[in-house]
Amino acid sequence: MPADLNLPIDINSVKGFLAADEGLALYQYALAASKLGPCLEIGSYCGKSTIYFATACQQNNSILYALDHHRGSEEHQLGEEYHDPDLYDAGIELMDSFRTFRITMREAQLEDTVVPIVSSSAVASRHWATPLGMVFIDGGHSEEAAQTDYRCWSTHIKPGGILAIHDIFPNPEDGGQAPYNIWKLAKASGLFEELPTVNTLGLFRRK
């Protein structure tokens, strides 16, 4: 796994919550998975994970669909723990990370690889018919949001493709349990082969 991807942007300058080892794992798995078909991430925020993911897709002339309603998760809202005032639109009293995301994609030279989908996960999946090489779930961390993301997208992964789930905390004292709960669903489903977890990034291969 390369320690330096020679990115055109300083990855540490991009807002986000993905650790470096998780980002490099995402890149490594996407290098192979994007040869199987286009890929999808759920929860782009300002584009940190997107850079790792899409850089791998770009090398294979593949596509990354970047799905996010860009109104922030529960913890990003006004008065919550991870609220960022720079991403708050006071005029409409809502979070909006899409403008920052677009700037990030331009600076990372990924506009020809990343297809933004500004929508909720449930709406975007309603008529989805494209098989995917890899799905990365890092959207809302409420139980309802995580379950929706898993239910709507996990079956679209091609055999041999990858399912990645961020923020896996088996111990409730370390973090929220919704991502861990869908990780357990994937493990018990019979559809996936479990791969080694990288930090809090849970990984599976579709059988």
* Enzyme catalytic residues: 141
Main-chain phi, psi angles of 23, to 5 degrees? -65, -40
Residues 207, 191: Cα–Cα separation, whole Å:
6
Sign of torsion over alpha carbons 36, 31, 199, 66: negative
Cα→Cα distances 62→34, 35, 66, Å: 6, 7, 13
Which amino acid, 50?
T
109 Rama sector, left if φ>0, alpha if ψ -120 to 50, beta otherwise: left
Query: Which DSSP symbol is given to 2?
Result: -
Strand partners, 198: 201
